[in-house]
Structure 1
Amino acid sequence: MSETDLGLWGVPLAMLAGAIRVSTPFLFVSLGECLTERSGRINLGLEGTLVFGAMAGYAIAYETGSPWLGVLAAAVCGAGFGLAHGAMCSLARVNDIAIGIALMLLGMGLAFFFGKPYVQPVAPDLPSIPFGFWSDIPQLRAALDVNALFLVGVALALAMAWMFRATRIGLVIRATGDGAEAARALGVDPVRVRTLATAAGGALAGVGGAYLSLYYPGSWNEGISSGQGLMAVALVIFARWKPVNCLWAALLFGGAGALGPALQSVGVTGGYYLFYAAPYVLTLGLLIAASSPSRALAGAPAALGFNR
């Protein structure tokens, strides 16, 4: 076997690279939804936030020549959508899920409308860190090119886990997620906490969108998300509302998404398009498993009402 012909070893290498690349938007969106749900609110509008963040990040990066300004713009736009969601859900007789669906459609519609001029132009990509510099094998070097946002996401997952466990902010968010009465017992306004948590979760979803358009696949088009924002909600349930578990679950989803290209890289083309359905099949399977009566929604914040 030559240096450039890895044979079947190319499959795990391609899946390793794909798991890292494909998992990053899942990671940011799931961490954002984890933060939102731990405060006692559900945001199903993150698909629209993800798509709008991808468009805004790409547009600003193209106009300014800086991909990091694009990421910042995507985070600001995502926070705006989250703030709108939180503000509307704080009104009387307003349903979280209905508002989320409405904002999802709004975000996607606005992205498609404002993003049409940016389908053809090429924006600068986010940089990657070449952890495989030591190898002479091109495939290994490519597999170990890790985008900086993935490392930021890993650090953020660890920081959020520590925050929930060991800080007053984490205690306030967890108490708010257990119910308004628990939050008021700590002397905090549950509406404010949930609104800020939803805004922060939206900002993270926007960053996930910027990753899609500025690194992988690295372009803006109307079908860029493929439902990743909605799948991330299922991912949070599977992760039992724990940030570190969101990291492992995102890598699992990323590996499933990389299965098709990995098999194609070694010449497996039969049923090629079926392998692209792997993340959706995995989402369905995880939701069925999570709905088992013996362990249904263990760890869910009480204010979400899953256990009522």
Structure 2
Amino acid sequence: MSADQWIAFAAAIVGGALRVGTPFLFVSLGECLTEKSGRINLGLEGVLVLSAMAAFGGAYWSGSAWVGVLAGALAGALLAALHGVLCSLPRVNDVATGIALMLLGTGLAFYLGKPLIQPQAPQLPSIALADWSSNAAVRAALQVNVLVPIGLMLALALWWGFARTRAGLLVRLAGDSADATRALGYSVAGIRIAATTAGGAIAGLGGASLTLFYPGSWNEGISSGQGLIAVALVIFARWSPLRCMGAALLFGGAGAVGPALQSIGIAWGYHLFNTVPYVLTLLILVLTCRPGKVAVGSPGELSSTRS
């Protein structure tokens, strides 16, 4: 490859990591917040798909992409709140409920989103990171979703909140010891419902980024399992919001390899490279989820045996 092609390839990887990694970032931050409170939400795939549809519909009918973003966050919060409430009932299993709500969320999205498959909705503006370059391919590759800086600020806010605020301390306490939380007079169920709802709203922003920026349309295969991958990503990030940023970029970059090669005229192995994020997920689960071994950083309530 020529020097210009190498530059274009590198820019495509960086730009692709930011574009593809944006949903991973929001969903992993939402799941990180949820799991810090001692609850697992495997229904995030349903949250992501439903919020993507709601965001597209909100933007299409209102004529404003930002109204669509709010609709996506609201849809994610509502479905996650349902998960939180159901899991607070006696003898209700987090994992089974999450799977059920994943099916509910995707089913609702497919049913309600039928009229939205063909129309075009207003799109979110982009941030140009390569105005300094005279290379058109580089400038096109480094058009970044305006939600990216919002996601980065959210990660920093969550990191600071967990370490420095009373609310963050209560979330961590509920995740590490439900008994200690009750002994201090706080409602474990209330904390977990609030954290799960807020996590769903954050994940909903990831759904909005799918339909209102990249790929920028609504269809039933929009997610490709990113909500489920995000659960593994949180384990890989050791339940740290800051590490979630790096992990999202890693997964985004892995997903961008195929399109980056195609952008410089290399089409061989395109579909093979599209499997890289799923291979990474499998590798992470194999390396981190070992029988009898608690992952470093895991909230105490997640490592205990619960019904």
The TM-score, its normalising length taken from structure 1, stands at 0.95
Task: Describe the superposition over 1:131-153 as per-residue Cα deviations: whole angstroms up to 9, x where unpaired.
Answer: 22232221222233221111100
Q: Residues of 1 paired with 2:70 and 2:184: CA distance?
A: 33
Residue 287 (structure 2) aligned to one of 282, 286, 289 = 289
**Contact 2:25 / 2:151 at 8 angstroms: preserved in 1?**
yes
Task: Kindly report the root-mean-square deviation, in angstroms, between the aligned alpha carbons of the 2 structures.
Answer: 1.7
Q: Residues of 2 paired with 1:44 and 1:213: CA distance?
A: 22
Task: Describe the superposition over 1:80-118 as per-residue Cα deviations: whole angstroms up to 9, x where unpaired.
Answer: 011100110010000000100000000000000000000
Asked whether 1:37 is paired with 2:35, we answer: yes
Secondary structure of the equivalent of 1:6?
A: helix
**Contact 1:18 / 1:258 at 8 angstroms: preserved in 2?**
yes
**Alpha-carbon distance change, 294 to 86 in structure 1, aligned in 2, over 3 angstroms:** closer
Match of 1:96 in 2: 94
Q: Residues of 2 paired with 1:227 and 1:287: CA distance?
A: 15
Once the two structures are overlaid, the 10-residue window that deviates more, 35-44 or 126-135, is 126-135
Match of 1:121 in 2: 119
Match of 2:161 in 1: 163
Once the two structures are overlaid, the 10-residue window that deviates more, 155-164 or 129-138, is 129-138
Residue 109 (structure 1) aligned to one of 107, 113, 123 = 107
Secondary structure of the equivalent of 1:129?
A: strand
**Contact 1:297 / 1:306 at 8 angstroms: preserved in 2?**
no
1:296 deviation in Å? 4.4
Once the two structures are overlaid, the 10-residue window that deviates more, 45-54 or 183-192, is 183-192
User: Aligned pair count?
Assistant: 306
Match of 1:203 in 2: 201
Once the two structures are overlaid, the 10-residue window that deviates more, 63-72 or 178-187, is 178-187
1:10 deviation in Å? 2.1
Q: Residues of 1 paired with 2:8 and 2:201: CA distance?
A: 36
Aligned ranges 1:114-263 → 2 under 5 Å = 114-263=112-261
1:286 deviation in Å? 1.1
Structure 2 residue identity aligned to 1:245: R
Asked whether 1:10 is paired with 2:8, we answer: yes
Once the two structures are overlaid, the 10-residue window that deviates more, 262-271 or 73-82, is 262-271
Asked whether 1:277 is paired with 2:275, we answer: yes
Match of 1:60 in 2: 58
Task: Describe the superposition over 1:141-181 as per-residue Cα deviations: whole angstroms up to 9, x where unpaired.
Answer: 22332211111000100110000011111110000001211
Once the two structures are overlaid, the 10-residue window that deviates more, 125-134 or 190-199, is 125-134
Q: Residues of 2 paired with 1:144 and 1:186: CA distance?
A: 50
Residue 305 (structure 1) aligned to one of 289, 303, 306 = 303
Match of 1:86 in 2: 84
**Contact 2:44 / 2:227 at 8 angstroms: preserved in 1?**
yes
**Alpha-carbon distance change, 294 to 106 in structure 1, aligned in 2, over 3 angstroms:** closer
1:292 deviation in Å? 5.1
**Contact 1:300 / 1:306 at 8 angstroms: preserved in 2?**
no
Q: Residues of 2 paired with 1:134 and 1:56: CA distance?
A: 36
Task: Describe the superposition over 1:10-32 as per-residue Cα deviations: whole angstroms up to 9, x where unpaired.
Answer: 22111001000000000000000
Secondary structure of the equivalent of 2:144?
A: strand
**Alpha-carbon distance change, 302 to 294 in structure 1, aligned in 2, over 3 angstroms:** closer
Secondary structure of the equivalent of 2:113?
A: helix
| Gap regions ≥5 residues in structure 1 | none
Please list every run of at least 4 consecutive aligned residues from structure 1 whose deviation after the TM superposition is greater than 3 angstroms: 292-296
**Contact 1:46 / 1:104 at 8 angstroms: preserved in 2?**
yes
| Gap regions ≥5 residues in structure 2 | none
Q: Residues of 1 paired with 2:247 and 2:152: CA distance?
A: 12
1:267 deviation in Å? 2.2
Q: Residues of 1 paired with 2:282 and 2:258: CA distance?
A: 18
**Contact 2:124 / 2:145 at 8 angstroms: preserved in 1?**
yes
Q: Residues of 1 paired with 2:218 and 2:13: CA distance?
A: 24
Q: Residues of 2 paired with 1:70 and 1:31: CA distance?
A: 20
**Contact 1:297 / 1:307 at 8 angstroms: preserved in 2?**
no
The TM-score, its normalising length taken from structure 2, stands at 0.96
